Amino acid sequence: MVNINGREWAKLTYQDVQSVISEQDLEESFYFEFKDDRVSSKKIAEEVSAFSNTFGGYIFLGIADNKQIEGCTSWNEQRIHTTIHDSISPTPSFDVKKFTIDSKTVYVIKIDEGAEPPYITNNGKIYERLSSGSFPIKDSSKLSQIYSKKERLIEKMERTISIPPIDESASNIYGYIDSGFYLVASDIQVAIDTFCQADLKAIAAEAAEMTPSFNLSNIGNSIVYIPGGISVQKGHLPAHTNNFLEIMADGSARMRILLINNDRNDPSVNMAIPNSLLRSYKEIYTKIMGDLFPQRIAYAKKYESLTVRQQFQPVCFFDDCILEDHPDLREDNEKRIDALRAHREVFGITNVVTDDRIPKTGLNTIDKRQMELWGLEYTAESVIDELFFSRFTAMGVVPIPEEQA
């Protein structure tokens, strides 16, 4: 996509916008659309859909077709965000900048070429950009091309966040939980800047409070966090055989949690440890990329999977090491163990015997609309919670009866 006045988006100034408006020969084009303050939400949604389904572009809001600066009074950033989030599915990647020109407010909306077309308006239409206008797509061959593009992009996302399987594992590894999400930021440069500005020294100091043994490293264009050491009955570990979180420069992430028991006579795996690891992953990620959420992201595509190397019995209680440091948890721990015994008397012992994946194929979408369908607030905390939520870490967790709680 072209830049405005040759300037990258993150450094755009009002002088750049003014320069574009002042160009005598520049009219509405394939990449530029001018809209005055009276434009409807429906029309904005159509233009955004068209740019997203084609090669991206810019909407100058508060400027008439003849490029007269009229300014905005009925439009603001909140209305722009709400209109786009509520009127187009999936949510496109976009960003908004506010400028004051000649004492009048002008908004510039940057719409990126979509990573997950087609982008459909809430009236069920799909738009494309042709010359200097936006039009609904009616040609079936064009729709077919768009869907083929989507399939290729999904394949790219899956390759980015998937983790190679462990070909050879130590005898005390019963399986592992993998999870990953591909994050689409409103402005990729802002995401990269957020990543690059992370204070790893300060984050490492806080990580030391969570676990005495860890590693936090810059590897290529990623930050990799490895919590604690694992006790395996092998000399050298095969690749990917560790607990780790990898955060990529665009905010995407992938993570692995090993399911371990060093007692070969005990087929159980205590899921309190994977739950603790997942919480530490979320805390590290939030410290590095948290400033992006929620307004600086368009959506995320997520998966989680369970790989079973040996059958095991999931349980969930605090081990002796935790109880030594937190004796106040002993009473709660006894309730957990009693609840597990009662559960087993009714349902038998839970045995995990096979792999699973959520979703079975493809990737789930997490965006503002989906969060609202789930009845969740669209806040930084709730979005990050959902990205790091795992149904598989809930294995072995038995609710404590209310009369015992």
Query: Residue 312: beta bridge partners?
Result: 352
pLDDT value of residue 119: 94
SS3 at position 397: coil
H or E element that contains 202: helix 200-210
Report strand pairing: 57-61 vs 104-111. antiparallel
SS3 at position 119: coil
Task: Say how many C-beta atoms besides its own lie within 10 A of residue 3's C-beta.
Answer: 14
Backbone angles phi, psi at 217, to 5 degrees: -135, 150
Nearest to 186 by CA among 327, 298, 341: 298
Axis-axis angle for helices 77-87, 41-53 (nearest 10):
60
Nearest to 186 by CA among 287, 85, 118: 85
The two tokens of residue 395 are 């294995």
Query: pLDDT tens track of the chain, all 405 residues?
Result: 678 888 888 789 999 998 888 875 555 578 899 999 999 999 999 999 999 999 899 999 999 988 899 999 999 999 999 999 899 988 888 889 999 999 999 999 999 888 789 999 999 999 999 877 899 998 888 889 888 888 888 899 999 999 999 877 677 899 999 999 999 887 788 899 999 999 999 999 988 887 778 999 999 999 999 997 555 554 567 778 899 999 999 999 999 999 998 887 888 999 988 999 999 999 999 999 999 999 888 889 999 999 999 999 998 887 766 767 677 778 877 888 888 888 888 999 889 999 999 999 889 999 887 898 899 999 999 999 999 999 999 998 887 776 655
Nearest to 81 by CA among 64, 60, 96: 96
pLDDT value of residue 26: 56
Q: Which residues of 307-319 are buried (b: 16+ CB within 10 A; e: fewer)?
A: bebbebbbbbbbe
pLDDT value of residue 318: 76
9-155 topology per CATH: 3.30.950
pLDDT value of residue 235: 53
Helices in 241-378 by DSSP H: which ranges?
272-289, 320-325, 330-347, 368-373
Nearest to 13 by CA among 105, 95, 110, 100: 100
pLDDT value of residue 402: 66
Distance CA 77, CA 60 (A): 13
Residues 109, 48 contacting (CB under 8 angstroms): yes
Distance CA 97, CA 320 (A): 54
Can you give the residue ranges of every domain in the chain?
A: 9-155, 162-394
Residues 230, 168 contacting (CB under 8 angstroms): no
pLDDT value of residue 84: 94
Q: What is the pTM of this model?
A: 0.78
Distance CA 80, CA 262 (A): 55
